[in-house]
Every structure is written in C-alpha cells, then in structure tokens.
Amino acid sequence: MCFVSEGGTTAATQEATRPRVELNGPAPDFEATTTHGVIRLSEWEKDKWVILFSHPADFTPVCTTEFVEFAKRYDEFQKRGVALLGCSVDSVYSHIAWIRNIEEKFGVKVKFPVIADLDQKVSQLYGMIHTPSASTVTVRCVYFIDPNRIVRAMIYYPLNVGRNFDEILRVVDALQTVDKEGVACPANWTPGQDVIVPPPTTQQDAEARAQNKEYDVIDWYISKKKVS
C-alpha cells in the first residue's frame, strides 16, 4: 500500500528520490546547526577524516555510554587525524543540557560538535532513520569519511546495542593503512599485523609471485607482508 503526503508525494517516490549513500561514493554535503555553531560538511575540518555518527536520543542510557566512550577516546581519534561529528533529531538546547550532564556525572569532556537535526534533514540525507526500527529517531549509524569527502565505510547498530569502539578505531587504522601502503587488510587485522599484497593479474606475474622471497607467499593469489 502506498500513502500520499499532503503535498501529493508518495512514500515510494520519496524513497526513490532520496540521495543514496554508497561506499566509495561522495558524502552528501549539508549545512547544519550544531553545539559548536553552524557547519557545512564540505568546509568543516577539511584536511581530516570525519566520523559522522547518529544516536537515537539525548538523555538515554545506551547513548550516554557511547558519548562517554567517544569523549574518553577523543585524543585517540585526534592522533589519527579524525574529527567526530554526532547527530540526532534532538534540539541544540537538549544537546547542550545532556552534554553538560555527561560532563558532570562522568567526569569527561565532550569536545566534538553534535548536530541538532530537528527537521531530519541530515538523518534523511544519510539514511539514518530506519522505519522498521523507529520513524522518529535515528539508529546507530557510523560513516567513515576521508579527507576527500568520500564515504569509505559504514556500520549500523540497532537501537538497543551499543557500538564497539575498538572496531571503530580498527576500521580507521585499516583504511589509513590501505591508503598509505596500497595493500588490503585480512580478517581480524589489527595494527602491527601483516597485510595482504594485491594479487597478480597475469599468469607470468603469478609464476613470479609464487617464487617471491620478499613476501610471505601462501600461494600465488595470497601473499602477506609487514608494514611499519
């Protein structure tokens, strides 16, 4: 069944015309009011990676634990050249009150801005609202956006499961490593472990790879090496 809005636009049409966030595609640009003032994504923290993340609501227990963890690990993200940007459909006044409460009750400083997305502009643009879960709040989305404003990874968590911050940092480390070294990262990779060398694409190169002594050659199509 299809429902028509007051303006005559069907829900199906809205879904079809909504911008789609895709891996290795451009991060949709926006201007939004935040706890640090108005920002435009394309102009904000230009030389840094950005982690844009959504939370369902202020003054909720799981979201509070996540903000405490983001605050505790803020310096770790900074060392990696990553700027944090939160988002929910609460007002800027609610954000400010909640942040002040977190700082008072948990003894941490929330140094990153949080978008007050009352009109759901950003939430709809990035597909943060999943109606089977809830139509009025965002699920727990994480978008990894590189300095060229390309979306490099996405993670989604349900409303009742908090995020794994070790994994968020691991993904940042992996993305930065593959960019720097021109390699791939194997399953469960963490910094300091071997990475995967791109496989050869010709029979001649495959024969040469099988004899390569520089890499840890398991077979011609899978070889590993160490990186600094």
Q: Which residues are catalytic?
A: 63
Q: Among residues 125, 123, 31, 106, which one has the least CA distance to residue 63?
A: 106
d(C-alpha 122, C-alpha 86), whole Å: 11
Burial 37-66 (b: 16+ CB within 10 A, else e): eebebeebbeebbbbbbbbbbbeeebbbeb
Burial 169-201 (b: 16+ CB within 10 A, else e): bbbbbbbbbbeeeebebeeebeeeebbbbeebe
Distance, C-alpha 58 to centroid of its chain: 19
Residues 6+ apart with CB under 8 A from 103: 109, 110
The secondary structure of 157-174 as a DSSP string is: E-TTS---HHHHHHHHHH
The CA-based diameter of the chain, rounded to the nearest angstrom, is: 69
| Phi-psi domain of 8 (left: phi exceeds 0; alpha: psi -120 through 50; beta: other) | left
d(C-alpha 193, C-alpha 116), whole Å: 40
Tokens of 199: 């496989």
